[in-house]
Amino acid sequence: MVRFASILEDDSNSTFLLPSGAGHYYHVPAENVMAKPTRTNLKSCGEIDALLCSRSPEAWKRCLTYGRVMRIRGVEGNALYTTFAPTDGCLDEQRVLRLVPWRVAHACFPEVKGWAMRDPGYWSLSPERMAVYDWSKEADLPDAPRLDPVLNNWPEATLTRPVAARTPLQMPPLDPMEDADAQIFGDVGAHPTTPPPLPPPLSWEPPPAPERGSRRRDRAPFRLPPSLLPRQPPPLALAMAEDLRALSDFLFECKDVVPEGAYLQASDALKRVWDRSI
């Protein structure tokens, strides 16, 4: 009798389900599992939906730490999967295997492997889980995007109740500006394609009419703000400017009777005083 990989050993109600096509789930034979996960990722339904539609290594790497990745082999090669347990939805989601995008694996596995190697006593008991981080598309799954359960003759699961699982096929098409929109609108925890809430409509009410017999207030004349008003020098600056002009004229008259270097130094000093005074 073929045993199927499950969350709880020999429990037919907790077998892992590999989705293929719309609404079809397949069992995975236990002998095809190269590394079984010991943990699952806890996220809200909205966070799971957003992650499954994301190809960002930064978004995925916390979900691929040691013990959270399942490695399965088939006739095509072997592929990597992870699982999610929603904090606000159906717990059957934990049974559904989610394919790890190969570009995500290539980008974040070196860093995630470094995290795992910081505690050798923890992962040395399970080298097959550590070997997950040496996976590569070229060597392990060169000619297929994912494992095909039909091609591998794996049996389709007969479910007594529908699995309330989210799949990318059920999601609306991705918006290429989703990351920019999230930064602009500060959308936290919502679906990345959900538009931001519309601002409340503007309302206008006419100003109240003046009471009969009341005196009409004169409207204040328009005035420029202080920053745009022309700058008026203080009286002391005006007097200093006259003195500097007199010194400049005197220095110009003496330029032929003093050395050229001394004249230039005096002229530069006078200019610096002039610039500071205005």
Residue 41, phi then psi, degrees to nearest 5: -90, 130
Same domain (yes/no): 31, 110: yes
Distance set, CA 278 to CA 62, 227, 250, 253, 273 (Å): 61, 17, 21, 24, 9
- Give pLDDT, residue 241: 65
- Give pLDDT, residue 156: 93
- Give pLDDT, residue 29: 96
Residue 192: inside a domain, yes or no? no
Same domain (yes/no): 161, 237: no
173: pLDDT strictly greater than 70: no
Average pLDDT over residues 169-175: 41
More confidently predicted of 262 and 64: 64
More confidently predicted of 99 and 273: 99
More confidently predicted of 232 and 35: 35
Percent of all residues in the chain with a pLDDT value above 70, rounded to a whole number: 67
Same domain (yes/no): 20, 155: yes
Same domain (yes/no): 143, 271: no
Alpha carbon 155 to its chain centroid, in Å, reads: 39
Q: Which of 17, 121, 116 is nearest to 61 (CA)?
A: 116
Residue 171: inside a domain, yes or no? no
Residue 111: inside a domain, yes or no? yes
Average pLDDT over residues 107-135: 86
Q: What CA–CA distance (Å, rounded) separates 89 from 73? A: 30
More confidently predicted of 172 and 68: 68
Q: Of 27-41, 46-60, 184-198, 244-258, which range is least confident?
A: 184-198
Same domain (yes/no): 259, 153: no
Q: At what angle do helices 260-277 and 235-253 cross, to 10 degrees?
A: 170
pLDDT in tens, 15-36: 999 998 777 899 999 999 999 9
Q: What CA–CA distance (Å, rounded) separates 190 from 200? A: 20
Residue 31: inside a domain, yes or no? yes
State which residues form the domain around 262. 232-277
- Give pLDDT, residue 117: 86
More confidently predicted of 156 and 263: 156
Same domain (yes/no): 159, 251: no
Residue 168 banded pLDDT, cuts 50, 70, 90: very low
Average pLDDT over residues 202-207: 53
- Per the structure, how many domains does the chain have? 2
Residue 265: inside a domain, yes or no? yes
Q: Which of 63, 58, 56 is nearest to 80 (CA)?
A: 63
Residue 213: inside a domain, yes or no? no
- Give pLDDT, residue 172: 39
Q: What CA–CA distance (Å, rounded) separates 51 from 59? A: 7
Domain final residue, candidates 139, 165, 191: 165
- Give pLDDT, residue 118: 84
Residue 182: inside a domain, yes or no? no
Same domain (yes/no): 42, 133: yes
Domain final residue, candidates 144, 165, 186: 165
Residue 190 banded pLDDT, cuts 50, 70, 90: very low
Domain final residue, candidates 165, 188, 218: 165
Residue 221: inside a domain, yes or no? no
Q: Of 51-65, 97-111, 118-132, 163-177, which range is least confident?
A: 163-177
Same domain (yes/no): 160, 240: no
pLDDT in tens, 52-101: 999 999 999 999 998 999 999 999 999 999 999 988 877 788 899 999 99
Average pLDDT over residues 242-262: 73
Same domain (yes/no): 161, 236: no
Phi-psi category of residue 189: left, alpha or beta, with phi > 0 → left and psi -120 to 50 → alpha: left
Residue 278 banded pLDDT, cuts 50, 70, 90: low
Tokens 């290539």, located at residue: 106
